Amino acid sequence: MSQYSTPNLTLHSAQGFAYSYRRYGKKGTVPVLFLQHFRGNLDNWDPALVDAIAEEREVILVDARGVGGSGGEVPTTVRDFALDAIDFADALGITELDLFGFSHGGFVAQEFALLRPQLVRRLILAGTGPQGGREMHGWNEETRGHAYKDVQGAEDVLYLFFSPSAQSQAKGVEFVGRIYTRQDGRDVAPTLAVRDAQAAAIVEWGIRDYSKLSRLENIVQPTLVANGDDDILVPTVNSYLLAGHLPHARLLIYPDAGHGFLFQYPVEFAREVNSFLAE
């Protein structure tokens, strides 16, 4: 199975929500729960990245409540997104997992680990930042125009996720091709209501308040923090803040890369993730 062919499944939780998800990979391992970025759904996970991780781990991709094929109303706070992720994990009967949070999903992963620490073995925090970090409370006009566009296209993905260099942009074009390869069983496109609700959660999380950094000392699990060196959505300085305040973190910064570094370097990052999770 792969991200190109794994069927979409539906799970009904104790809270009464129906979650759309995909589950595949190496059975008998601690599963990795993937938490997605702003306006992303199941199809936005790069097959080159996720399939490489799935060679050594069981992977679970899930749409948040109200996103893609999942039912219900979209939350407007990171805490509620995290509570829903816990609700989903409980419905699966999982007693131990690793979290892979990208961007907005990284905010959710941090909150998940704070709310249910006994469930989390290890964390990967990619292209993300701590609550109250730097330059996270709103974007400049050009970035906002691409991020909030009603109907996004490849040009928006290339601007938001990749650095302006020719090499990075070329890798971005390859990534866009990969995520649109799947034709059968594609996920439901996120709505404008998803955009607006998630934006509210992101803006609240990003209000500068350095006192919030002290919360990170309570995330004691081994954590891999990674980003590109030129992230315009969650500025790279926030990865340094995470690594500096989490008790057991290591930091990887990829050159000539932006927010979507993990899609620019999918094989290389998957190798790092698998090595980290195998420790």
DSSP 212-252: GGGGGGG--S-EEEEEETT-TTTTTHHHHHHHHHSTTEEEE
Asked whether 20 and 42 are in contact (CB, 8 A), the reply is yes
Count CB-CB contacts under 10 A for residue 278: 9
Residues shown for the chain:
279
How confident is the model at residue 76, as a pLDDT?
98
How confident is the model at residue 114, as a pLDDT?
99
Structural domains for the chain: 9-277 (3.40.50.1820)
Nearest alpha-carbon partner for 228 in 251, 198, 211, 209: 251
How confident is the model at residue 137, as a pLDDT?
78
Asked whether 71 and 87 are in contact (CB, 8 A), the reply is no
How confident is the model at residue 136, as a pLDDT?
82
Nearest alpha-carbon partner for 277 in 108, 236, 269: 269
Chain centroid to CA 274:
17
Asked whether 221 and 122 are in contact (CB, 8 A), the reply is yes
How confident is the model at residue 1, as a pLDDT?
80
Asked whether 100 and 273 are in contact (CB, 8 A), the reply is yes
pLDDT digit string (tens) for the chain, length 279 residues: 898 899 999 999 988 999 999 999 999 999 999 999 999 999 999 999 999 999 999 999 999 999 999 999 999 999 999 999 999 999 999 999 999 999 999 999 999 999 999 999 999 999 999 999 998 877 889 999 999 999 999 999 999 999 999 999 999 999 999 999 999 999 999 999 999 999 999 999 999 999 999 999 999 999 999 999 999 999 999 999 999 999 999 999 999 999 999 999 999 999 999 999 999
Nearest alpha-carbon partner for 110 in 263, 204, 221: 221
The one-character DSSP state at 137 is S
Nearest alpha-carbon partner for 111 in 167, 179, 10, 35: 35
CA atoms within 13 Å, Cβ hemisphere of 106? 23
